[in-house]
Structure 1
């Protein structure tokens, strides 16, 4: 178990560099000169690549730089220039680049930005490239789906960051529950939460399952999907989180919240599970690793599975993707670099050296073998996970989903009325 946990920590440290939430964008390119210089050497084509993050010292960035170095060795006619865009500056930087004609050839993006940039025709569809790619059948099907907009693929995911269902095995034992058997469905989730909740002098001091009281749109999405709700009809670009399946999901969450200590989902320092004040939650693997680093006594006490399904299995899956700018004059070369990043050889190297999760089907079993409990949960979560709605108004969705969620949770309105009003307000703002 110690060996597995040590590996888990390494995986988790990597995953913390990954979430994100999600951004995409555009490109401007340099035309290849292809001329012979005085020395007789062919001048290199310059391929510009923008990556989100704080800079080259990040572990992920160092991995990307290593990949680029090998790519350049194999393609001496191509030079890749990489720039790092701080997360807070991403949208402004991209907008300025497209407006000024200085966008790069390749963008490293997130799910939440694919639709808006594709809608502006700043990204190109990758379908023709993918259809001619020998490695296309080795990519997990859901990865293609997460990078799609209106039936076309605009971003190819290379690094996933899913959430998993985590539970405290020691708390299970205290409650006479089998620590090797987490809840199997919603009914058991409710039953376990009731048994695991601890009251002292009429006050809840340890929750059964975390249910945020504020900023819970993420919970509404996840449980809505598990209950069969689309939450957002991405094909028609319509919010539908007031449909019966979504209402039923939020009603279930509200009932479940009686066994949860109140907290704000955006304030990670208040999450009960992280503080040892809850027995079960959905959480990123990096957060589990941080917990164990801060308190080594937790080693071996945290169990994980991909999800606890309702009518359907589902969880959240963040994803880093690569997109090609519509303004690029070197689209073929840009695709060649993307194809290199996604190759089994490079993915396997990242998996073995940096413990990064994989999107290649052929690497799933070797990845699981490295740490069966954690990695089997990660692989399944990648296969079934859903990202933030892939529509042009995704940030607005979060605003109004939070509005409906909180009005329902605080009893301002009935669950049905709260969600109906939130959907109506969102439709009004997006002009629908």
Structure 2
């Protein structure tokens, strides 16, 4: 059975805008047996029906249906109901269900919002189940550490990692060749290429950025990659507003409308990727998750992806800890034995390889890491090599802060748009964000004293 929790539960900040109608609607469409966060469930018979929420519904629906079909073939006495939740809505959906009931048995959970769910006592600890089953010793150590850190409860695991992403600089090889440019291996080359590939009158741009939903994580990634600052915290104060990061932010946001489409101001992930894939943009910074979209749009001969350049020419490469995606089991579930069978099956080497090949991401199961498709997927292979480079430094984002997702999304995205529009300075933006993060860190430390 799972280990008892050893730390005080942090008080969770209620999700804004949760209303009874939303809770009832979600309950009706998901699973009527499961209660809210902290509700008692049970092991069940290991047979019957379980409900699974895909946290990237629509994008990953097809591959999950393949995995579910294979699982139901192996376990014909278990029926998996699939519910696809768009990635932009998933945290709100979980918060609504935790507050009002209707949680699934199993759900896709990313470390970016894991701490918030742990704080609400919604997830089942999985450490003992992992140690007692076929996944013991089979999960990439770095991803395990990332999940443990994000959960904020010591070494306990509140999700089984399935994949990890890494920031990648996607570029159009044909446009670079036509302009006589080489792939940028330094930041100076990156900015020169962005300018050289831009012809605003001809609706051609060197770069596209995200100014809408999800913009902050991408901006932070570009800041730390350029500044070379290797730690998110200096004691109990964040380095977000370090002068080097402010200078990097000024360069990054300075691209807007000069080397990027004006529509970038409101572009979320979907629209940013579409902007690149429509064919008039030379470069895009995004993780490996959009790999197959680019291949579908251009073919392998016209697009490629490389790690972001080192902070100094030929020097240290600084990358941020992209969220680890995984599968969580909910405490309210009444058939945990069957739910665990599904998690263990989906995280097994063959299924983990299938999922990550579809997503173009880095597998969590070590048995999948040597599969041929990884060698064939050059951007994925390059990302893995950069992670293994001893010169690479990884900045660990504080996903363990229950307020991390709220601060870096709803609370800060409007300010980032002000920076793009020239209505707020990069320094004021960084100082404002740093103040919120420092307060959240102090609050977390206060409520998690030994």
Where structure 2 has 5 or more consecutive residues not aligned to the other structure, the ranges are 1-35, 389-393, 444-450
Q: Which has the larger radius of gyration?
A: 1
Where structure 1 has 5 or more consecutive residues not aligned to the other structure, the ranges are 1-23, 34-43
Answering whether residue 307 of structure 2 is matched by residue 306 of structure 1, we say: yes
2:106, 2:327 within 8 Å by CA — same for their partners in 1?
yes
Answering whether residue 44 of structure 2 is matched by residue 32 of structure 1, we say: yes
**Corresponding residue for residue 217 of structure 1:** 216
1:350-377 residue CA offsets vs partner (Å, 9 max, x unmatched): 5689988632233323244552424414
1:202-247 residue CA offsets vs partner (Å, 9 max, x unmatched): x5853333345566323312113323458966997x8653233432
CA 1:382/1:134 → structure 2, altered by over 3 Å: closer, same or farther?
Answer: farther
**Corresponding residue for residue 141 of structure 1:** 141
Matches within 5 A, 1:348-359: 348=353, 358-359=363-364
> 1:91, CA displacement in angstroms?
5.4
**Corresponding residue for residue 175 of structure 2:** 171
TM-score by length of structure 2 reads 0.68
Q: Which secondary structure state, in structure 1, belongs to the residue aligned with residue 252 of structure 2?
A: helix
Q: Which secondary structure state, in structure 1, belongs to the residue aligned with residue 410 of structure 2?
A: helix
> 1:120, CA displacement in angstroms?
1.2
Distance between the aligned counterparts of 2:176 and 2:208, measured in 1?
15
> 1:26, CA displacement in angstroms?
7.6
Matches within 5 A, 1:263-412: 263-264=264-265, 265-266=267-268, 268-269=270-271, 272-283=275-286, 287=290, 289-290=292-293, 293=296, 300-310=301-311, 311-314=316-319, 317=322, 319-328=324-333, 331=336, 334-348=339-353, 358-368=363-373, 371-377=376-382, 379=384, 389-393=399-403, 394-412=405-423
TM-score by length of structure 1 reads 0.71
2:91, 2:113 within 8 Å by CA — same for their partners in 1?
no
1:101-142 residue CA offsets vs partner (Å, 9 max, x unmatched): 664433232333311110111113323333445544332233
1:368, 1:375 within 8 Å by CA — same for their partners in 2?
no
Answering whether residue 29 of structure 2 is matched by residue 59 of structure 1, we say: no
Q: Which secondary structure state, in structure 1, belongs to the residue aligned with residue 370 of structure 2?
A: helix
CA 1:235/1:397 → structure 2, altered by over 3 Å: closer, same or farther?
Answer: farther
CA 1:367/1:139 → structure 2, altered by over 3 Å: closer, same or farther?
Answer: farther
**Corresponding residue for residue 9 of structure 2:** none
Matches within 5 A, 1:82-231: 82-84=81-83, 86-87=85-86, 94=94, 98=98, 103-133=103-133, 135-147=135-147, 148-150=150-152, 151=154, 152-160=156-164, 163-178=167-182, 182-194=183-195, 196-199=196-199, 205-212=203-210, 216-226=215-225, 227-228=227-228
Distance between the aligned counterparts of 1:28 and 1:71, measured in 2?
29
CA 1:99/1:400 → structure 2, altered by over 3 Å: closer, same or farther?
Answer: closer
2:321, 2:397 within 8 Å by CA — same for their partners in 1?
yes
**Corresponding residue for residue 48 of structure 1:** 50
2:165, 2:289 within 8 Å by CA — same for their partners in 1?
no
**Corresponding residue for residue 69 of structure 1:** 72
Q: Which secondary structure state, in structure 1, belongs to the residue aligned with residue 369 of structure 2?
A: helix
Q: Which moved more, 1:121-130 or 1:385-394?
A: 385-394
Q: Which secondary structure state, in structure 1, belongs to the residue aligned with residue 317 of structure 2?
A: coil
1:158, 1:342 within 8 Å by CA — same for their partners in 2?
yes
**Corresponding residue for residue 24 of structure 2:** none
Q: Which secondary structure state, in structure 2, belongs to the residue aligned with residue 153 of structure 1?
A: coil
Distance between the aligned counterparts of 1:415 and 1:326, measured in 2?
43
- In the comparison of the two structures, how many residue pairs are matched? 386
1:378-421 residue CA offsets vs partner (Å, 9 max, x unmatched): 64588879789453221332234324433333332332123213
2:349, 2:366 within 8 Å by CA — same for their partners in 1?
no
> 1:92, CA displacement in angstroms?
6.4
Distance between the aligned counterparts of 1:211 and 1:273, measured in 2?
10
Q: Which secondary structure state, in structure 2, belongs to the residue aligned with residue 109 of structure 1?
A: strand
Distance between the aligned counterparts of 2:122 and 2:336, measured in 1?
13
1:335-354 residue CA offsets vs partner (Å, 9 max, x unmatched): 34322222224334556899
